Amino acid sequence: MPARGDHEARRRDVSEAVWRVLGERGFDGLTLRAVAAELGASTGLVSHYFPSKRALMEHALEVAEDRTAHRPRRTPPSPGLPALRAALLDVLPLTEEMTRMSRAWVSSWDAALADPDLGAGQAARHRRWRAALREHIETAQRLGELPTAGDPEDLAATAAAFAHGLVVHALFEPGRYPPERQTALLDRFLDGFSR
């Protein structure tokens, strides 16, 4: 642990512990006690930063958002359909780190459904992601890679729903949905998508 006066360094350590707990136990297992145990510190130290479970959850969502925003992403070989494929691959639990990230996000949905403020934040994140997918779809339509008859908003919602569904299946049955199968299923989906 850093020196007593190094508040920001301590907060970073606490945030890292929050992330590790989220990745292992999800939001339901996110408690002051679990974070303290992960840190090897007292619950008093953790409660200094997070005076309530709600404050801890809000911070956990901030940490997840930051991790999501700064994670490595694929560089698509070209715009349009290859860029859409890369964006969808980037959310699948194909690596250990992405599995932890997926577990954190999926486990947050229950809390978001029960809390209007958290739910509004989650809905906004989903809208931003669909908007990014829609841009790739519109480009693919302009390039002739996707039929122009399809509404880009509906196609983006379909692609997002497929990817989220695949994430959930892979989290619950990782042995049945190894990375190679997830990728093959995505490619099959995109093949049908482009017809």
- If you average pLDDT over every residue of the chain, what do you get? 91
CA-nearest of 185, 190, 186, 181 to 146 is 190
Per-residue model confidence as pLDDT tens digits over 118-142:
899 999 999 999 999 999 999 999 9
> What is the pLDDT confidence band of residue 190, given thresholds at 50, 70 and 90?
very high
Reduced 3-state DSSP string for 87-124: HHHCCCCCCHHHHHHHHHHHHHHHHHHHCHHHHHHHHH
Q: What is the average per-residue pLDDT within 99-123?
A: 91
Q: Where are the alpha helices (DSSP H) in the chain?
A: 7-25, 32-39, 43-49, 53-69, 81-89, 96-114, 116-142, 152-172, 179-193
Q: Could you tell me the two tokens for 13? A: 């350590």
Per-residue model confidence as pLDDT tens digits over 14-39:
888 988 898 888 888 889 999 999 99
Query: What are the φ and ψ backbone dihedral angles of 140, each rounded to 5 degrees?
Result: -60, -35
The neighbour count for residue 20, using CB atoms within 10 Å, is 15
Name every residue whose Cβ is closer than 8 Å to that of residue 69 and which is 6 or more positions away in sequence.
none
Return the pLDDT at 78.
96
Burial category of 40 from C-beta neighbours within 10 Å (exposed 0-12, middle 13-18, buried 19 and up): exposed
Answer whether residue 1 shows pLDDT above 70. no
Q: What is the pTM of this model?
A: 0.87
Q: What is the dihedral of CA 125, 104, 66, 69, to 10 degrees?
A: -60
Return the pLDDT at 88.
98
> What is the pLDDT confidence band of residue 4, given thresholds at 50, 70 and 90?
low
For 103, half-sphere exposure in the C-beta direction (CA atoms, 13 angstrom radius) is 22
Per-residue model confidence as pLDDT tens digits over 48-74:
888 888 888 888 888 888 888 899 999
d(CA 138, CA 103): 30
The residue count for the chain: 195
Answer whether residue 195 shows pLDDT above 70. yes
d(CA 135, CA 80): 8
Query: What are the φ and ψ backbone dihedral angles of 97, each rounded to 5 degrees?
Result: -65, -40
Q: Could you tell me the two tokens for 143? A: 């390039």
Return the pLDDT at 5.
54
